Amino acid sequence: MGLWVLGPPGLAGFAAADDPPATERAVTDIVPAPVQARPDPAANFTLTADSVIRAEYQAHDVADYLGDLLRPATGFAIPVVDRYDTSKPGITLQLGDADQQLGSEGYQLTVAKDGITLQANTTDGLFEGVQSLRQLFPSAIGKSSVQQQDWTVSGGTVFDYPRFARRGAMLDVARHFFGPDQVKRYIDQIAQYKINTLHLHLTDDQGWRIEIKSWPQLTEIGGKTAVDGDPGGFYTQDQYTDIVNYAASRHITVVPEVDMPGHTNAAQASYGELNCDGKPVPPRTDIDVGYSSLCISSPTTYKFVEDVIRELAALTPGPYLDIGGDEAKSTSAADYSAFYAKVMPLVSEYGKQIQGWHNIVEANPPVSAVPEYWDTSRTNADVAAAAARGNKILMAPADKAYLDMKYTPDDPLGLHWAGYVEVKDAYDWDPATVLQGVPESSVAGVEAPLWSETLRTSADIEYQAFPRLAGIAEIGWSPAATHNWDDYRKRLAAQGPIWTAQGINFYRSPQVDWK
Ligand code: IFG
């Protein structure tokens, strides 16, 4: 005798009594699309009050993270127990001895009636596997209060690993300042889509956001301002370290950026000696670009840059420091090269590799440097030449990946100098073909920059970032062969209830039939 199943919207239908309970998403609905996903509705698993997470000691951080995700909405204890304690049903995290094809970030996930097994070669892989697993739960799992309902997890197997090593997000905390809790909220949101780097744009014309102990006025003065005269702010070095550690707990590496030799008005308003005439410039809170330049001929400039690089490197466990390089319209080409000839060696001197906007290729950077391509042109001979020399290019084409671009003219937030970027526009590109002369082997990965001239709150960040961030993450993670807008838009629609449960203020694009 069958019964009408009134499950989540779109899943109502007639089900025989012995059919497994319907689930909102199958393994084939995961975003980013996995390399291989085989659904098995007969293998759905139901999490119950006596379920446990089984993990060896080295995987306990991921186990605790997973437990923290599942406890609030279920109200279950979900203890983390010893790897070999099989007395209770639940989720087993297996660290090591996984298929070598999975590499360092891949994972193998099996959801079966009698339990869930997640296996990976590293804790990074386990963490990325958890991001897929959580999408197989009912969306209500993301709620922060106990929900009285079944917690049925969609059955099947997933074998998955990333196409590109770097899948990044950038947050501009200089035009408008976002406090540590707001940055951590964004970290939690981007981690869901297997993003593994967060580029923080810490300094610009309108604000300096990171304490530099040897130059305290950078934050005492430069930290006070923001676009439109909005409240400023800055991170003490302890607060910054806390953000870096939080990102690391989400398996995300922070790439700090100090933009130079342009975009430096806040620094030059803080210290007269950073200006060729020795006088501090007035603070700026408008959104013009290209009017500022450090004083290239002054030795003080290089002492300043070295002190900043030294202190920032000491705060950065990750391999990269970003030394900017964009829109140096008030720096002559000769001065630009002279500046970076002195500055680039400082980065390696303090044990880091260079990242910068792609304009740095004009200064002939070492091949270990990662130029970030941000232009809207599909050709750039200098960047293609750098790729030919061995530089890996981080792809962030503004007409595809800039999350501050308005979706449509009606978008109350964002800019539109690179065009209007709807959800489909942000999805319809391939990092391996987007720039002539830069093949897949020269692509480091992708990044989705979010500039904050027009953003003030977390809700503003979320409106511009979601849903497009999920698409950029898929472009960076999934095999090119899975790339299909008609399929993706259906999977994206099923992410909507997850974001609603989490309170993410996402843009309900008319291009998607939201669930
Ligand atoms: N270009 C500037 C940013 C920001 C952006 C807004 C880069 C590398 C326009 N530089 O993008 O400072 O103003 O979309």
Residue 218 counted as domain residue: yes
Neighbour-count burial for 156-185, b at 16+ CB within 10 Å, e otherwise: bbbbbbbbbebbbbbbbbbbbbbeeeebbb
- For 349, residues 6+ apart whose C-beta sits below 8 A from its C-beta are none
Instruction: Give a yes or no: residue 510 inside a domain.
Output: no
User: What is the structure's pLDDT at 253?
Assistant: 98
Q: How many structural domains are present in the chain?
A: 2
Nearest atom of ligand 1 to the alpha carbon of 405: 14
**Are residues 183 and 207 both part of a single domain?**
yes
Does the Cβ of 375 fall within 6 Å of ligand 1? no
Same domain for 362 and 335 = yes
How far, in Å, is the centroid of ligand 1 from the Cα of 427? 21
Specify the ligand 1 atom closest to the Cα of 326. 8
Q: What is the 421 CA–ligand 1 centroid distance (Å)?
A: 15
Q: Is there an atom of ligand 1 within 6 Å of 374 CB?
A: yes
Distance between CA atoms of 457 and 463, rounded to whole angstroms? 10
Distance in angstroms (rounded) separating the CA atoms of residues 405 and 286: 18
Domain that holds residue 306: 166-502
User: Ligand 1 pocket check: which of 289, 404, 406 to mutate, most ligand atoms within 8 Å of Cβ?
Assistant: 289
Tell how far CA 169 is from the center of its chain: 3
Task: Indicate if 139 and 179 belong to the same structural domain.
Answer: no
Residues 386, 397: Cα–Cα separation, whole Å:
17
CA dist., res. 11 & res. 515, Å (int): 10
pTM equals 0.96
Same domain for 142 and 190, yes or no, is: no
The alpha carbon of 264 and the centre of ligand 1 are apart by a number of angstroms equal to: 14
Per-residue confidence (pLDDT) for residue 477, from 0 to 100: 98
Question: Which among 48, 118, 57, 54 is positioned nearest to 81, based on CA atoms?
Answer: 54
Whichever domain contains 55, its CATH number is 3.30.379.10
Q: Is residue 514, in this structure, part of any structural domain at all?
A: no
Tell me the pLDDT of the chain (515 aa) as tens digits: 334 444 444 444 455 556 666 899 999 999 999 999 999 999 999 999 999 999 999 999 999 999 999 999 999 999 999 999 999 999 999 999 999 999 999 999 999 999 999 999 999 999 999 999 999 999 999 999 999 999 999 999 999 999 999 999 999 999 999 999 999 999 999 999 999 999 999 999 999 999 999 999 999 999 999 999 999 999 999 999 999 999 999 999 999 999 999 999 999 999 999 999 999 999 999 999 999 999 999 999 999 999 999 999 999 999 999 999 999 999 999 999 999 999 999 999 999 999 999 999 999 999 999 999 999 999 999 999 999 999 999 999 999 999 999 999 999 999 999 999 999 999 999 999 999 999 999 999 999 999 999 999 999 999 999 999 999 999 999 999 999 999 999 999 999 999 999 999 999 999 999 99
Which of 160, 185, 209 is at the close of a domain?
A: 160
What is the CA(451)–ligand 1 centre distance, in A? 7
- Number of Cβ within 10 Å of residue 249's Cβ equals 16
Among 78, 59, 81, 82, which residue's Cα sits nearest to residue 68?
A: 78
Q: How far, in Å, is the centroid of ligand 1 from the Cα of 292?
A: 14
- In terms of domains, do 91 and 201 share one? no
Q: Is 290 in the pocket of ligand 1 (CB under 6 A)?
A: no
* Sign of the CA dihedral with 168 first, then 169, 173, and 177 last: negative
Q: Would you say residue 106 lies in a domain?
A: yes
User: Does ligand 1 come within 6 angstroms of the Cβ of 11?
Assistant: no
Determine which one of 211, 327, 462, 474 is catalytic.
327
357 CB near ligand 1 (under 6 Å): yes
351: phi > 0 → left, psi -120 to 50 → alpha, else beta; which? left
Q: What is the pLDDT of residue 12?
A: 43
Number of the ligand 1 atom closest to the C-alpha atom of 259: 12
Residues 148 and 184 in one domain: no
Asked whether residue 101 falls in the same domain as residue 223, the answer is no
| CATH code for the domain in which residue 469 is found | 3.20.20.80
Using an 8 Å Cβ cutoff, are 113 and 43 in contact? yes
Q: Same domain for 317 and 409?
A: yes
Domain match, 289 and 411 both: yes
| Same structural domain, 328 and 415 | yes
Atom 9, ligand 1: which residue's CA is nearest? 451
> Last residue of some domain: 160, 183, 203?
160
Residue 379 to residues 245, 370, 397, 410: CA-CA distances in angstroms?
38, 18, 11, 30
* Residue at 409 is within a domain: yes
Residue 508 lies in a domain: no
Ligand 1 centre to CA of 32 (Å) is 27
CA angle 81, 86, 89 (to 5 degrees): 85
Check: CB of residue 297 under 8 Å from CB of residue 238.
Answer: no
Residue 356 lies in a domain: yes
Q: Does some domain include residue 137?
A: yes
**Residue 327: active-site member:** yes
Indicate whether 197 and 230 sit together in one domain. yes
Last residue in a domain, options 105, 126, 160: 160
What is the number of the ligand 1 atom nearest to the C-alpha of 263?
12
The HSE-up count of residue 480 (CA atoms within 13 Å, CB side) is 9
Separation CA 107–CA 37 (nearest Å) = 12
The DSSP string of 53-89 is EEE-GGGHHHHHHHHHHHHHHH-----EEETT--SS-
Q: Are residues 373 and 311 in the same domain?
A: yes
- 492 conformational bin, left if phi > 0, alpha if psi -120 to 50, beta if neither: alpha
Cβ of 193 less than 6 Å from ligand 1: no
What pLDDT score was predicted for residue 22?
Answer: 81
Signed CA dihedral, 475, 480, 484, 487: sign only:
negative
Residue 416 Cα to ligand 1 midpoint, Å, equals 11
Q: Whose CA is nearest to atom 7 of ligand 1?
A: 326
| Nearest residue to 184 via CA among 470, 447, 461, 402 | 461
> Which pLDDT value is given to residue 16?
58
